[in-house]
Structure 1
Amino acid sequence: MAPVFADPDEVRRRLDEVGYLVDEGMAAALFFALALGQPLLLEGEPGVGKTTAAKALARALDTPLIRLQCYEGLTASEALYEWNHQRQLLAIRLAEARHDHLSDADLFTAEFLLERPILRAVRHRGPRPPVLLIDEIDRADDEFEALLFEFLGEASVTIPELGTFTAERPPIVVLTSNRSRDLHDALRRRCLYHWIDFPSPERAAEILRRSVPAANEPLIRSATEFIGRIRRFDLDKAPGMAETIDWVAALSAVGATELVREDVVRTLSAIAKTPDDRETILAALDEPTTSRGNP
């Protein structure tokens, strides 16, 4: 199959067309993931755009996005497949009514199979493979990672009763992690890797212009500078780009055209996610750098 993108520059252009701005490193990571057919592991602080990257890639390629949201206790039946027990029970009762007997081979067939995200991605049929987003893999248990090894290495899922299903076209796999725990080396070896940092002030401002068109230029400029300043503090949760967009949207909603202390306090819930962070940010407003009421 011909390459999806000619080079990283085309990746940047196509993602830009769907409203997602990437830097050179991110464009290269996505390009090589698609060109080499390997999963891509994206790590970074919450809110830097890891999940959005997979969504934007699916839009740019005009292909389905299949999302698996990870959490503690996630099992194979929720991620790979499970059997439709209600339908199996109904089949047994109907057979009994006809005085027939169903064997295990009759009950464990594709007819009774429920596809979960990973198997659905493997069995997808279409002009392009889907984008499979395995979101926040660090929230799942260590044991769940081992369930992914066959799929990540071979784009296949084995069901003991039915055999091995292998994708006609391997899905485009994007895994995200907030680094709440260390991932297994075996998982990392199966993936390309990219760390997403907070965007530069210039790129952050451009993202805000697109995401909050109601905000004027002075507000965008001062908000970007203020977020960059408070990220240097020891916050429990430094505001990412997602929180920054929400904050500037909230400022615009209250009619702010420049950053003043009163409006920052009114909209603080968009960027301060813990009581300690709220106190830290409020203290930053009262630092000597404040002049004439402006943060």
Structure 2
Amino acid sequence: MNDPQEVGRRLDAVDYLVDDGLAMAVFLALRLGKPLLLEGEPGVGKTAAAKALAQALDTPLIRLQCYEGLTAGEALYEWNYQRQLLAIRLAEARHERLGDDDLFTAEFLQERPILKAVRYAGPTPPVLLIDEIDRADDEFEALLFEFLGEAAVTVPELGTFTAVRPPVVVLTSNRSRDLHDALRRRCLYHWIEFPAAARAAEIVRRAVPGASAPLIASATEFIGRVRALDLDKAPGLAETIDWVSALSALGATELAPADALHTLGTIAKTPDDRLVVAGAVHEEIA
């Protein structure tokens, strides 16, 4: 992609709308070959950005979903112990003995998402999504430093694998904890804001093409007002899309109190939030 405007057009073509800031961040990440760290509230489209980028580049998306306790074996690589055990038994049947040099070879190496991205041999580098990195442990972040800085993974028994064409790396974080400064230094950074009402409506329209324009407009405006309330979890774009999808499935063409109350579970995710949002429905929706 030759400039930020082309980034915007290519992502628009796969129904992902970006503002100038995100278009510039993606362009620079592609041009400089740097990982891109996207932060923002849940539901603003961080994960969707990586998926859309893979579509726009016509390249595979490789996803690593992070969680507490994630290990190198699940993220980088591990050894196929069942095949190693089978090889040992076959060797014993032949009265042979296998050493480490026989067992820890490429034949028995299992690629996990990061090593798979490094060794990808297709014509276009894949997009590697490291999703919700803030859910992983501090120790796991340290495992990423070599990869993020050098597009390489070291397997002690085999050496270092370095990507011929480094993957396009997108990390996302909901800021549930602070990330290590060393990780941030290796990445470009962009904060994704919840979009203004007009752009939010256009995003919802593309995601729910069967919904009526009045329903989309009134629903997105209501969500914008609800987000200013004291909620445990403010609804994001993902919840807005779910809400409009649910209302449309009920046959609603305009936002009515009864339909809004019946579908509160799509936008209010705790009992307290349900009470607050229900109050807003009674006050604001005629």
TM-score, structure 1 length as denominator? 0.96
Kindly indicate whether the alpha-carbon contact (under 8 Å) linking 2:257 and 2:282 is maintained by their aligned counterparts in 1.
Answer: no
Task: Say which of 187, 190, 196 aligns to 1:191.
Answer: 187
Distance in 1 between the 2:25 and 2:146 partners? 23
Distance in 1 between the 2:74 and 2:262 partners? 42
Task: Say which of 264, 275, 282 aligns to 1:279.
Answer: 275
Task: Give 1:111 shift.
Answer: 0.2
Task: Give 1:107 shift.
Answer: 0.3
Aligned pairs (5 A) from 1:75-224: 75-224=71-220
Tell me what 1:241 maps to: 237
Aligned pairs (5 A) from 1:14-53: 14-53=10-49
The AA in structure 1 aligned to 2:23 is: A
Report SS of the residue matched to 1:118. helix
Distance in 1 between the 2:11 and 2:40 partners? 19
Distance in 1 between the 2:98 and 2:66 partners? 36
Distance in 1 between the 2:192 and 2:181 partners? 20
Structure 1: runs of 5+ lacking an equivalent:
none
Tell me what 1:13 maps to: 9
Distance in 2 between the 1:59 and 1:214 partners? 23
User: Is the counterpart of residue 64 in structure 1 residue 60 in structure 2?
Assistant: yes
The AA in structure 1 aligned to 2:155 is: I
Report SS of the residue matched to 2:51. helix
Kindly indicate whether the alpha-carbon contact (under 8 Å) linking 2:261 and 2:281 is maintained by their aligned counterparts in 1.
Answer: no
Distance in 2 between the 1:210 and 1:283 partners? 29
Provide the alpha-carbon RMSD of the alignment.
0.8
Distance in 2 between the 1:213 and 1:108 partners? 52
Tell me what 1:55 maps to: 51
Distance in 1 between the 2:158 and 2:251 partners? 61
Distance in 2 between the 1:40 and 1:135 partners? 12
Distance in 1 between the 2:217 and 2:161 partners? 52
Distance in 2 between the 1:129 and 1:75 partners? 25
Tell me what 2:223 maps to: 227
Residues 210-260 of structure 1: CA deviation (Å, up to 9, x unaligned) = 111121111111111100000001111111111101100111111111111
For structure 1, which segment, 204-213 or 238-247, has the greater mean C-alpha deviation from structure 2 after superposition? 204-213
Structure 2: runs of 5+ lacking an equivalent:
none
Task: Give 1:286 shift.
Answer: 2.9
For structure 1, which segment, 147-156 or 276-285, has the greater mean C-alpha deviation from structure 2 after superposition? 276-285
Residues 107-153 of structure 1: CA deviation (Å, up to 9, x unaligned) = 00000000000000000011110000000000000000000000000
Report SS of the residue matched to 1:169. coil
Task: Give 1:285 shift.
Answer: 2.1
Residues 154-192 of structure 1: CA deviation (Å, up to 9, x unaligned) = 000001000000000011000000000000000000000
Tell me what 2:252 maps to: 256
Runs of 4+ deviating beyond 3 Å: none
Task: Give 1:84 shift.
Answer: 0.3
In the comparison of the two structures, how many residue pairs are matched? 286
The AA in structure 1 aligned to 2:31 is: A
Identity %: 78
